[in-house]
């Protein structure tokens, strides 16, 4: 039996279970400002904390939704290691992303992953679909939920 087939069988047993919870990471104003500079999205609700506190409904500066989403790779790095025989993992995309709650500057976030589906993609690849929830410490409503697809590539 190939390494991919073994990984597929092992993964099938985990469908519907939580397969990882990441470490917390702080999203501070400096991170938000760097993201704004990189993406050229300098809207005041992100980069002007005083104005955001006075004029926005959020009570302060908030992280970009795409900054929050971009931390998915960091959270996955905390949660997943290479499976036996796996050469690499490739981000395949998202089926669904929903931004549920703004992330205030200074908030701590972490990712939770629940395996939803796995399937073979040829003889040396396995597609994994995880429901990813990015939580905000101390908040009941998560920052976002997403159905994330990853492709695990194995030795032939």
pLDDT tens over the chain, length 156 residues? 899 999 999 999 999 999 999 999 999 999 999 999 999 999 999 999 999 999 999 999 999 999 999 999 999 999 999 999 999 999 999 999 999 999 999 999 999 999 999 999 999 999 999 999 999 999 999 999 999 999 999 997
Give the architecture-level CATH label for domain 3-26+63-154.
Answer: Roll (3.10)
CA distances from 82 to 5, 11, 33, 44, 147 (A): 15, 13, 33, 41, 20
Between CA 131 and CA 115 the distance in angstroms is 6
């Amino acid at each position: 039996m190939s390494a991919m087939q073994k990984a597929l069988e092992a993964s099938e047993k985990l469908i519907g279970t939580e397969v990882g919870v990441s470490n917390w990471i702080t999203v501070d104003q400096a991170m938000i400002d760097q993201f704004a500079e990189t993406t050229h999205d300098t809207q005041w609700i992100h980069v002007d904390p005083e104005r955001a506190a006075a004029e926005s409904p959020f009570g302060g500066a908030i992280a970009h939704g795409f900054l929050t989403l971009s931390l998915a790779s960091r959270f996955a790095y905390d949660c997943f290691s290479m499976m036996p025989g796996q050469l690499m993992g490739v981000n395949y995309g998202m089926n669904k992303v929903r931004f549920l709650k703004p992330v205030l500057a200074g908030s701590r976030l972490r990712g939770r992953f629940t395996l939803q589906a796995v399937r073979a993609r040829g003889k040396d690849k396995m597609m994994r679909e995880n429901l990813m929830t990015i939580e905000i410490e101390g908040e009941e409503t998560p920052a976002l939920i997403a159905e994330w697809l990853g492709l695990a590539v194995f030795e032939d």
